[in-house]
Amino acid sequence: MKTIDELLSEGVAGKRVFVRADLNVPLDGTTITDDGRIRAVVPTVKALADAGARVIVASHLGRPKGAPDPAFSLAPAAARLGELLGADVSFAEDTVGPAAEAAVSGLADGRVAVIENLRFNAGETSKDDAERAAFADRLAGLADVYVGDGFGAVHRGHASVFDLPKRLPHYAGYLIATEVGVLKKLTDDVRRPYVVALGGAKVSDKLAVIDQLLGKADRLLIGGGMAYTFLKAKGYEVGISLLQEDQIPAVQEYIERAEKNGVELVLPVDVLVAPEFPDLKTKAPANPTTVAADAIPADQEGLDIGPETRKLYASKLADAATVFWNGPMGVFEHPDYAEGTKAVAQALVDAPGFTVVGGGDSAAAVRTLGFDENAFGHISTGGGASLEYLEGKTLPGLAALED
């Protein structure tokens, strides 16, 4: 795929450049609680603006139902982008209507505009090819060139991600080029030992990537809510912990295959339990109990890996030449259940090799828990996209950027 550096060498002064970013940031009302995805696109936007392009930034945010919804407006993200660029950024209150057309026509060379949430138009996510194509046609009318830089959305076959680049000269932005380069280090040119730590709520979300990793990773560490399906598959009592009973046969097969393939599959040896899920708003003390992983009381819920598991996982990461981590080890949003996730993050910081935090909640946890982002080899902006790439899937947004 062509990159933004090639576009810049061709000259962009006066050209309208459509940048498909990923500004899908978490909001508390209108307050952005994690601006990592906005900061990630700044190098691309700044390079284009500095070269004299008229930059149109577009993104989705949340899951509005194909119509305007103030709760999902990109206005806060546009304001934050302006702060990070140190320049005024205009904001259009629609996607392809009069406001967007006026904002784009009013752009001077080197200036930036953000258009409203793409998902406010039903054509963005439509499964109907004609409806999606019609929206892509209208978006194409706003620009001369397309730059894809929303890595967190490249696994979606949406109008602005898949259909639009086919209608304009297209290039990969700095973020996508970086993300793809990192993922190739996890698939094509892996330094060993290769250790993967997977957490998060549902094992079903990770089955396909586990299937791939059982033929590639040296060690696989399992935590988070998904761990309890693995423990149940081994015949352990898991109480009222998160459990996907329908996935137990698949998990049992993976446990057997890991042993056959010589992949070290590491499960928690102890967990923190409590009779109920913690209050994440008040952060009231939860007073958890630590129990062995094979001794979870029937009326208790596992909510984090325990202290012995933290030590075990740190030891399994200590000599890693390559690490990929996706998914927290527990309910890190509550201080009583953050230590497991914190321990894995610290183990990545201490690991001697190349470490990748695979986006999503893992990236949010790193920032929430106060880690220096520069202490990791790479923090991805796309959890779902990263996983699908590692699964070996073709990602629509990347395929569309290929010539």
Catalytic residues: 37, 202, 360, 384
| Burial (0-12, 13-18, 19+ Cβ within 10 Å), 304 | buried
**CA–CA gap between residue 310 and residue 304 (Å, rounded):** 10
- Using alpha carbons, select from 334, 377, 381 the residue that is nearest to residue 359: 381
Within the chain, what is the greatest distance between any pair of CA atoms?
Answer: 67
Phi, psi for 72 (deg, rounded to 5): -115, 25
Helix extents (H) in 318-403 = 339-350, 360-368, 383-390, 396-399
**Distance, CA of 363 to chain centre:** 7
Whether omega before 193 lies within 30 degrees of 0, making that bond cis, reads yes
**CA–CA gap between residue 18 and residue 180 (Å, rounded):** 21
**CA–CA gap between residue 20 and residue 41 (Å, rounded):** 10
**CA–CA gap between residue 325 and residue 198 (Å, rounded):** 6
